[in-house]
Structure 1
Amino acid sequence: MTEDNIHSVASYINSNYDKLIEREIPIPYNQSIEELAHILLTKYELPKYIEKELIQDLTQFIEAKEKEFYDTYVEEEVSRAKNDPDYLEDLTKQWEKLFKEETAEYAEKKCASDEELFASAYHKLVHSPALETILSVEHLYAKAVRRRTDQKDAFIQDLSEKQTEEMNKAVDRLEYGMTESEINELVAKHYEDHSLLKVRYASELDTLKEAQRREYRDWVMKMLEYNQENSFPPSPSSPLLTPTSPLLSGPDESTFHENVQNREKEPILEESFTIHLGSQLKQMYNVRILTGNVEDLCIIPVNESSELTPQLLQTALALYSNDLSGLVLMTDNKIGSRVTKDFQENCLKSTEFHFSHIDAQLEKISNIARDHFGESASNGSRSPGSDLLQCGDFYLTKHSNLAQVHVIFHLVSDDTLRGSDINSRHPVILGLRNVLKTACSNDITSLTIPLLLQYDITEEMTTMWCERRAELVFKCMKGFMIEMASWGGSDLKNLQFMLPIGISSQVFHSLADMLPRIFKISNPKILK
């Protein structure tokens, strides 16, 4: 029997704080005692200064109840094993199964899966002279997908314009015999035609991407064989890959140039710092503050030029490594909502060769969340019937077809972030701590977060508002990074704070000057 299958409930009752506190606590208690204390302080309107004493009381209570629970449980299990040989045999089989599943030494030897073989082949090739060839082929595939996407958008826009014109003419004929029922029928027909066209092109794009994925993965495996037999890698024009395949056809020459040029005109402000944090053994970090759009870290420019950017090279080289890059993306409490529609569309503009496409990942996350919410509603931690995430929750998606990131942390926020009175106990701030902890546990050594926890400039974002928000995030992240040393796992090497495009240079430099004061950058002393 595993620990997940044993549980009890203890009633915590305390009247030492001028109020009767009564709370049922599941035993064993696997959640944060500090969080529980904060909930009790808020619920019973207790003074803030007793928080430390309350945490100590709760800790002692939970430890005592857990010891009592495990003592009773062990005595019952030992007694049952002595009196029931069959139960002892079942228990032995369970331990044997756990050893095989959890301990590599006793695990059954299994052959590598297709995914593992492909990952190993890709990792070897991108760390060889074949890197440029691989990225050039991916570039050709992306152009083919972008061409189909542009065709889809053009046809849908053309249909919308024709339908608008037809509807305007129908409305004008209302006075000459056209009835409202005929107008409604026309609206229904337009909606059906529009939906069918979108479904048709979406299906064609999915078919193209799936064909590209199969062809690309087969080509990588053949290329590895070729690379092992020869001292130089094949070029994209070699017989290993047919350049005339429709899966590799690119767009017209005029496509994409306008968007790329417009994006390059946007001014970028940035400053970088090297800091040292830690109580005894100090760790060095690179901290950067910059202005930019989140899309800048996601969109891979697809144009006629086959020039490969350093960021794209670095992303490919680190894909199967312990040096991954992450990005915090603010969203609402609906998985795959319209808030992140632009991000999802950017993911779909090229084929995902290594992981599931964004739609499949979000659907899987949604199913897992739905099952989890059902359990949470049954034990009372969430309201019954709730199908939404809560502020401060986050979920992950992983990507190989984005420009500078491998992992996206979708952090749930709400309208309270627009106010100026949030503090270090705000769910989003606590969510950032959990994001940082997850990053350290999963080899994510570079992380980008929105410094103001928002992506757009709004009316309430005065200079004072920006300074207060930045100071809060700076101080909290500094505390989390110091705390991170005790978590284990990978060290965060690079931390980027992103500000919205359009913020004034005065505000930017004010926040940039604040960073070294809070993180206390050490300057070398020159001894004469």
Structure 2
Amino acid sequence: MNFEEDDTKHIETFHYIFPTLTTEKDQILEIPIEIPFLGLVSELTKRIMENFSLPCYIEDELNGALEHFIKTQTIEYHDRVAVEAIENVQNNMVDVEDIIKKWEKLFKEVVHFKKVYFSNIKYYFINYDFYSQETTEYAEKKISSDNEVFSNVYHKLMHSGAALQTMLQVEQSYALAASHVMSQRNEQISSLTAQQTEEITNALENTLNNETYINEMVAKHFEDQNLLQGRWNSEVDTLKETQKREYREWIMKLLEEYQTNNTLSPLCSPTSPTDIPSFSETSVLGGSSIPMMEESFTIHLGSQMKQMHNIRIMSADILDFCRIKLKNDVSVNPSPQRLQTALGLYSNDLCGLVLLNDNNDLSGFSGLAKKFYEVCDCSTEFHFPGVLEQLETLKIQIKDAVSWRNSCQHPGNLTTSEQQSRRSGSKHLQTGDVFLTKHSNLSSVHIVFHMIVDDSLRSNEINSRHSAILGLRNILKTACLNDITTLTIPVLLMHEMTEEMTVAWCTKRAELVFKCVKGFMIEMASWGGSDLKNLQFLVPKGISEEVFASLATMLPSIFRVSNPLVFKVSSTPTTPKIKARR
């Protein structure tokens, strides 16, 4: 006997007789119904009425008969199951020890199904997280992991006024040391590349060199490049591992010192040298962090219980939200953005960013995605796995998810792109799919939503059912359910301005995204979780002032902007006049 939920169902025939006005004979209706019935009786009644074109005057009677039939048959079904179970026990057909073990397991642990939306509503991952259970008498005693202890200590020290500045200065000194090593690595690789390019050019110009000689030279150059990159990558990885270990040990010692003396001393680490070459802010940042244009609004959304949101539209490079401004003098106070990000790291007030990615298999990096990973690699990640390590883990999860999706979807329900994906091996992501990475070493971001896109977004004919728009919906829902209260979205679904992005193109695309996001935010009220307090719409850097002004003017016309009521005060009081009706 199995004490788990019984998924077997029985088919029972529902008989209903009703008169008609056109014939003298009564009509007989026979409908098979699965027992137990898990749907709504009222919905079933509506479907029967519509499918059989039944007269409207029998709807109430039909609904009552259906309710009585389903209730009666359900009771009989459970009675039969109970009688069968009792007979099995009486006939010694049940293993009592097996039942005891199952109940003991249920008392000790409960499987928590966590739905992580991966692209649109067609499919999702299911993560199985095992927790110590509500029945504390039977729950196993769990010891906090090193990561949990470190996160608690970090949060406590970061929110103490005395330790905050010291911790951020230490992190900046480590980042400067890592930047110095990576700068040396890039210089040597660039120098070797230039030298090899010159050698290949001279060899090609010399007519005495045959093809075999050229191929041997290219192979040697390739080997030299791999050796140099491998040596420097190993040195960088060793440095970051050393920094991470020493930083965690220093944090634990700092807590002891702070609790004992209520004072803090600066860190003296061999991995943070005092003599660090100068870096200009431009070379460290790789661009300007100041947005070119910006407009902010306060809006209210909701039908009855209105929620207030801050909405901003700006023109900037999306990587400016990730780059950290490193300063040579570690005693200088860190930037406000970095300070806010560090304070909100272990909180219910996280910051998210939507990054468009055209790499659907994570096998290689190019374009903006490559620049983003380089920014993440500029400093040590003290709290989470490195971004490349996260991507390696995601490759396994994505492979399983894509296989599960392809096995569950019916071929007739697939779009053209999905059919092409199946024919190409069913191993790639599709437009609108989203994967997440988490970070603690970026300027203004904790969570990055990487949404897969393709060239279809360059068209001016996409609508609200496009996969990228559905991907935005799932991103907003994930943010709402996971305490992400600040989210930055590329409003044109593009990171760079191109030739086809005319004024009409930008206006139409922005209007579509504005309206869809507004609808998703209203829908969020029924999702539960945290409210999206701050929503930032980002337009590509280099957009004209006229187009930006047009988009900024459109935003308050689509969203409901909070405008104050203005009363005029006159010097003499006036009495309102009432006109009598005739």
TM range (shorter): 0.7 to 0.9
Evaluate the alpha carbon distance shift between residue 501 and residue 122 of structure 1 in structure 2; reply closer, same or farther with a 3 A threshold: same
Partner of 1:179: 210
Evaluate the alpha carbon distance shift between residue 438 and residue 262 of structure 1 in structure 2; reply closer, same or farther with a 3 A threshold: closer
Partner of 1:481: 521
Evaluate the alpha carbon distance shift between residue 364 and residue 305 of structure 1 in structure 2; reply closer, same or farther with a 3 A threshold: same
Which of 190, 198, 215 is residue 157 of structure 1 equivalent to?
190
Partner of 1:464: 504
Evaluate the alpha carbon distance shift between residue 70 and residue 454 of structure 1 in structure 2; reply closer, same or farther with a 3 A threshold: farther
Evaluate the alpha carbon distance shift between residue 345 and residue 180 of structure 1 in structure 2; reply closer, same or farther with a 3 A threshold: same
Matching of residues 367-516 of structure 1 within 5 Å: 367-380=396-409, 383=422, 385-516=425-556
Partner of 2:141: 109
Evaluate the alpha carbon distance shift between residue 280 and residue 193 of structure 1 in structure 2; reply closer, same or farther with a 3 A threshold: same
Evaluate the alpha carbon distance shift between residue 208 and residue 90 of structure 1 in structure 2; reply closer, same or farther with a 3 A threshold: same
The question of 1:330 aligning with 2:356 is answered yes
Q: Deviations for 1:148-195, whole angstroms, at most 9, x for unmatched residues?
A: 11111000011111111221222222x23x221011001000001111
**Partners of 2:5 and 2:357 in 1: CA distance:** 32
Partner of 2:48: none
Superposed displacement of residue 232, structure 1? 2.0
Evaluate the alpha carbon distance shift between residue 388 and residue 72 of structure 1 in structure 2; reply closer, same or farther with a 3 A threshold: farther
SS in 1 for 2:526: coil
SS in 2 for 1:344: helix
Please say if residues 445 and 494 of structure 1, whose CA atoms lie closer than 8 Å, have aligned partners that are also in contact: yes
Partner of 2:340: 314
Which of 115, 118, 130 is residue 150 of structure 2 equivalent to?
118
Please say if residues 144 and 250 of structure 1, whose CA atoms lie closer than 8 Å, have aligned partners that are also in contact: no
Q: Deviations for 1:351-406, whole angstroms, at most 9, x for unmatched residues?
A: 00000000110110111111222333334467373111111110111000000000
Please say if residues 80 and 87 of structure 1, whose CA atoms lie closer than 8 Å, have aligned partners that are also in contact: no
Superposed displacement of residue 198, structure 1? 0.8
Superposed displacement of residue 4, structure 1? 11
Please say if residues 328 and 450 of structure 1, whose CA atoms lie closer than 8 Å, have aligned partners that are also in contact: yes
Partner of 2:283: 259
Partner of 2:248: 217
SS in 2 for 1:219: helix
SS in 2 for 1:130: helix
Evaluate the alpha carbon distance shift between residue 525 and residue 3 of structure 1 in structure 2; reply closer, same or farther with a 3 A threshold: farther
Please say if residues 402 and 427 of structure 2, whose CA atoms lie closer than 8 Å, have aligned partners that are also in contact: yes
Evaluate the alpha carbon distance shift between residue 504 and residue 99 of structure 1 in structure 2; reply closer, same or farther with a 3 A threshold: farther
Evaluate the alpha carbon distance shift between residue 266 and residue 496 of structure 1 in structure 2; reply closer, same or farther with a 3 A threshold: closer
Superposed displacement of residue 312, structure 1? 0.4
Evaluate the alpha carbon distance shift between residue 267 and residue 247 of structure 1 in structure 2; reply closer, same or farther with a 3 A threshold: closer
**Partners of 1:327 and 1:82 in 2: CA distance:** 60
Amino acid at match of 2:88: N
**Partners of 2:181 and 2:37 in 1: CA distance:** 55
- TM-score normalised according to structure 1 size: 0.82
**Partners of 2:366 and 2:502 in 1: CA distance:** 27
SS in 2 for 1:401: coil
Amino acid at match of 1:346: V
Evaluate the alpha carbon distance shift between residue 262 and residue 208 of structure 1 in structure 2; reply closer, same or farther with a 3 A threshold: closer
**Partners of 1:70 and 1:249 in 2: CA distance:** 79
Please say if residues 146 and 251 of structure 1, whose CA atoms lie closer than 8 Å, have aligned partners that are also in contact: no
Q: Deviations for 1:47-104, whole angstroms, at most 9, x for unmatched residues?
A: xxxxxxxxxxxxxxxxxx9xx9999899769845752664565455434424432334
Please say if residues 158 and 342 of structure 2, whose CA atoms lie closer than 8 Å, have aligned partners that are also in contact: yes
**Partners of 1:507 and 1:467 in 2: CA distance:** 8
Superposed displacement of residue 458, structure 1? 0.6
SS in 1 for 2:437: strand
SS in 1 for 2:300: strand
Please say if residues 239 and 271 of structure 2, whose CA atoms lie closer than 8 Å, have aligned partners that are also in contact: no
**Partners of 2:352 and 2:37 in 1: CA distance:** 33
**Partners of 1:92 and 1:342 in 2: CA distance:** 57
Q: How many residues of Structure 1 are paired with residues of Structure 2 in the alignment?
A: 466
Which of 236, 239, 242 is residue 205 of structure 1 equivalent to?
236
Evaluate the alpha carbon distance shift between residue 70 and residue 145 of structure 1 in structure 2; reply closer, same or farther with a 3 A threshold: farther
Matching of residues 39-58 of structure 1 within 5 Å: none
**Partners of 1:70 and 1:367 in 2: CA distance:** 46
RMSD after superposition: 3.0
Please say if residues 140 and 250 of structure 1, whose CA atoms lie closer than 8 Å, have aligned partners that are also in contact: no
Partner of 2:375: 346
Amino acid at match of 2:353: L
Partner of 1:34: none
- TM-score normalised according to structure 2 size: 0.74
Please say if residues 446 and 492 of structure 1, whose CA atoms lie closer than 8 Å, have aligned partners that are also in contact: yes
Partner of 1:167: 200
Please say if residues 288 and 320 of structure 2, whose CA atoms lie closer than 8 Å, have aligned partners that are also in contact: no
Partner of 1:94: 102
**Partners of 2:428 and 2:376 in 1: CA distance:** 23
**Partners of 1:142 and 1:472 in 2: CA distance:** 41
Which of 367, 379, 385 is residue 356 of structure 1 equivalent to?
385
Evaluate the alpha carbon distance shift between residue 266 and residue 314 of structure 1 in structure 2; reply closer, same or farther with a 3 A threshold: closer
**Partners of 1:352 and 1:123 in 2: CA distance:** 16
**Partners of 1:136 and 1:498 in 2: CA distance:** 30
**Partners of 2:37 and 2:447 in 1: CA distance:** 33
Evaluate the alpha carbon distance shift between residue 320 and residue 172 of structure 1 in structure 2; reply closer, same or farther with a 3 A threshold: same
Please state which structure has a larger fraction of its residues in helix.
Answer: 1
Amino acid at match of 1:310: P
Evaluate the alpha carbon distance shift between residue 372 and residue 257 of structure 1 in structure 2; reply closer, same or farther with a 3 A threshold: closer
**Partners of 1:337 and 1:70 in 2: CA distance:** 60
